[in-house]
A = this chain, B = another copy of it.
């Protein structure tokens, strides 16, 4: 359920499928790398509708089957292995940073670890070094993106947090005034 692979193999497209892939992201992946055959030509539109607004996404996030999501590959696996192109702005042996294709601010990037941690609540004490590194990479990417007026860093954990991909990812948003409350 939580991966583009599931959708490709699947016979129906539920809210769950959409949200676990962060629709806009997948939509763009479709258009850019043509991973769907012509018989699936209606799928991008369905996905596009599914993510017409943030509310739809958060509602869907409430219905994710977390156990299934944690045990399925995600679209980030395809970005990490290069089979789906992303607009990568930074990479090192531990992590990758790329632009969110459904940006919520003029600059909206995601920083993800190469080694999958499904969600923050599943992080272990042995992940301390990696988590610290990810935060420093967020800072570095923000500098690289010239976010001199500031930015917001967000991690969504689970349904209430609005987590849509069960591979830890840190949102970096800037280029506009972020408002309060944060969602």
Residues of A within 8 A of B (CB): 54-55, 57-58, 61-62, 104-105, 120-121, 123, 125, 127-133, 135-136, 138-139, 142-143, 147, 149-163, 171, 173-183
Q: A154-B153, A173-B182, A181-B54 are in contact. Are A143 and B128 (CB under 8 A)?
A: no
Q: A55-B179, A129-B128, A179-B162 are in contact. Are A154 and B157 (CB under 8 A)?
A: no
Question: Given A152-B157, A153-B120, A62–B128 Cβ distance below 8 Å?
Answer: no
User: Are B182 and A104 interface neighbours, CB within 8 A?
Assistant: yes
Please report the C-alpha to C-alpha distance between residue A152 and residue B157 in the assembled complex, in whole angstroms: 6
Q: Nearest Cβ distance between residue A113 and chain B, in whole angstroms?
A: 12
B138 touches A135 (CB 8 A): no
Question: Is the pair A121, B149 in contact by a Cβ cutoff of 8 Å?
Answer: no
Within 8 Å by CB of A162, from B131, B133, B180, lies B180
Contacts of A136 in B (CB 8 A): 123, 125, 127-128, 131
